[in-house]
Amino acid sequence: MTDAAELRRRTRELLDTHPPATTDRPDFLRARFDAGLAWVHYPQGLGGLGAPRSLQSVVDAELAAAEAPDNDPRRIGIGLGMAAPTILQYGTDAQKRRLLRPLWTGEEVWCQLFSEPGAGSDLAALGTRAVRDGEDWVVGGQKVWTSSAHLARWAILIARTDPDVPKHRGITYFVCDMTDPGVEVRPLRQITGEAEFNEVFLTDVRIPDSHRLGEVGDGWRVAQTTLNNERVAIGGTAIPREGGMIGKVAGTWRERPELRTHDLHQRLLGLWVEAEVARLTGVRLRQQLVAGQPGPEGAGMKLNFARLNQEISGLEVELLGAEGLLYEDWTMRRPELVDFTGRDAGYRYLRSKGNSIEGGTSEVLLNIVAERVLGLPPEPRTDKDVAWKDLAR
């Protein structure tokens, strides 16, 4: 079994054969993947060594000390946090070999084609259709709120393949090539002025059956793997003490004593404690992940992440007064990633409003926590056994 000493040896060998100072970044990342040091808990040949997940920090520390390049995980978070675990669990050997390496190195960006104009909070009501045509599926419909679609080569896609069964049972999960004919990406300008989200129109897009993940009609179960990982990726990210948005507000408080009031001080202390509790809870959640797949607890983390971000950014604007209303750039940009800490307070305040929608609305997550974590009685669902085609829309 691979242990910490063996991982250090392998990492030093990688650094010796591919010195970061003289090796092109893509070449170094490919070599790291091939050495099994990308995500050590993945199988051999797929970027890992079948080692315990907890040992990834051993590799990361060695590479950080050597100032080796990383794969810019914030830029490719959808691929790393959502697509990769789903491909690993449900993909064929050919799919894993083709997709995981360029996903991890960042050479191919991923997006998520799940939500629709009429199926956001109730995702299982989606209406995008996929009809079998020989060895292909012909897909038509509209997706919305798609982060990074303007950058993506691949998308994880769920579509309805059987309208004659209840909504959760007639869905199939696909990998969609975003460069294929019939895929149209349009920007959605947000309250921040940016267009990091998109709407995506699919018009007679042909997807080979070889790009299907899981069984036909079993897409909802496959999608749960993606959604559970998404919530952990959003709400359970590893950060240092006073990292994230609370660090920005605390820094302003220390540097600008003329802004302080007793009321704001009490609120800042309360939010600082809550942010630290959330950070430590995230540590515990990641420890649980070592033993298996993420469960519904990730919904609670993501729920808390959204609430804290909105309260902290609101406090920051109040602390800065009129200065907090300034916004540096209102022109529509197409960013590669969301930057919560490198921008001004006005941006953080506006952008945090989306945190309670993306990755599952807070209302839906409250139901998940109530039913699957606390064991409370589920809400009545009158459409559970009704064929999708007979539902009112």
Output the domain CATH number for residue 246.
1.20.140.10
The per-residue pLDDT for 143 is 97
Q: What is the pTM of this model?
A: 0.88
Give the pLDDT confidence of 319-357 residue by residue, as tens digits.
Answer: 999 898 887 766 677 777 777 777 889 889 999 998 888
Q: Are residues 369 and 247 in the same domain?
A: yes
The per-residue pLDDT for 140 is 98
Domain count, the chain: 3
Confidence of residue 241 (pLDDT cuts 50, 70, 90): confident
Which of 9-13, 358-362, 374-378 has maximum average pLDDT?
9-13
What percent of the chain is predicted at pLDDT more than 70? 94
Contacts of 29 (CB under 8 A, 6+ apart): 69, 71, 104, 105, 106
Q: Is residue 140 part of a domain?
A: yes
The per-residue pLDDT for 298 is 76
The per-residue pLDDT for 232 is 67
Q: Are residues 269 and 213 in the same domain?
A: no
Q: Both ends of the chain: CA-CA distance in Å? A: 54
Q: Are residues 242 and 350 in the same domain?
A: yes
Distance CA 315, CA 32 (A): 42
Give the pLDDT confidence of 97-155 residue by residue, as tens digits.
Answer: 999 999 999 999 999 999 999 887 789 999 999 999 999 999 999 999 999 999 999 99
- Options 199, 230, 297, 316, the catalytic residue: 230
Name the domain boundary from 51, 70, 89.
70
The residue written with tokens 């490198």 in the block is 342
Q: Is residue 100 part of a domain?
A: no
| Mean pLDDT across the chain | 90
How remote is the C-alpha of 306 from its chain's centroid? 14
Q: Are residues 246 and 213 in the same domain?
A: no
Q: Are residues 247 and 184 in the same domain?
A: no
Confidence of residue 239 (pLDDT cuts 50, 70, 90): confident
The per-residue pLDDT for 291 is 53
Distance CA 138, CA 238 (A): 40
Q: Is residue 165 part of a domain?
A: yes
Distance CA 118, CA 122 (A): 8
Distance CA 312, CA 157 (A): 34
Structural tokens at position 192 = 């921040």
Q: Is residue 105 part of a domain?
A: no
Residue 15 lies in domain: 1-70
Give the pLDDT confidence of 246-301 residue by residue, as tens digits.
Answer: 999 999 999 999 999 999 999 999 999 999 998 888 877 766 665 556 667 777 88
Q: Are residues 299 and 363 in the same domain?
A: yes
Q: Are residues 121 and 41 in the same domain?
A: no
Lowest mean pLDDT among 5-9, 151-155, 207-211, 350-354: 350-354
Q: Are residues 212 and 261 in the same domain?
A: no
Annotated active-site residue 230? The verdict is: yes
Residue 223, pLDDT > 90, answer yes
Residue of 78, 146, 64, 70 whose CA lies nearest to 109: 78
> Which has more confidence, 221 or 228?
221
Q: Is residue 81 part of a domain?
A: no
Name the domain boundary from 217, 245, 275.
217
Say which amino acid occupies 355. N
Helix axes 297-320, 245-255, angle to 10 degrees: 30
Q: Are residues 157 and 118 in the same domain?
A: yes
Q: Are residues 191 and 290 in the same domain?
A: no
Give the pLDDT confidence of 322-331 residue by residue, as tens digits.
Answer: 898 887 766 6
**Contact assessment for residue 303 and residue 235, using Cβ atoms and an 8 Å cutoff:** yes
Confidence of residue 380 (pLDDT cuts 50, 70, 90): confident
Q: Are residues 22 and 130 in the same domain?
A: no
Q: Is residue 380 part of a domain?
A: no
CATH code, domain carrying 158: 2.40.110.10
The per-residue pLDDT for 179 is 97
Structural tokens at position 97 = 């070999």
HEC states along the chain? CCCHHHHHHHHHHHHHHCCCCCCCHHHHHHHHHHCCCCCCCCCECCCECCCCHHHHHHHHHHHHHCCCCCCCCCCCHHHHHHHHHHHHHHCCHHHHHHHHHHHHHCCCCEEEECCECCECCCHHHCCCEEEEECCEEEEEEEECCCCCCCCCCEEEEEEECCCCCECCCCEEEEEEECCCCCEEEEEECCCCCCCCEEEEEEEEEEEEHHHEECCCCEHHHHHHHHHHHHHHHHHCCCCCCCCCHHHHHHHHHHHCHHHCCHHHHHHHHHHHHHHHHHHHHHHHHHHHHCCCCCCCHHHHHHHHHHHHHHHHHHHHHHHHHHHHHCCCCCCCCCCCCCCCCCCCHHHHHHHHHHHHCCCCCHHHHHHHHHHHHCCCCCCCCCCCCCEHHHCCC
Q: Are residues 37 and 158 in the same domain?
A: no
Q: Is residue 248 part of a domain?
A: yes
Q: Is residue 93 part of a domain?
A: no
The per-residue pLDDT for 295 is 67
Structural tokens at position 191 = 């309250």
Structural tokens at position 200 = 């995506």
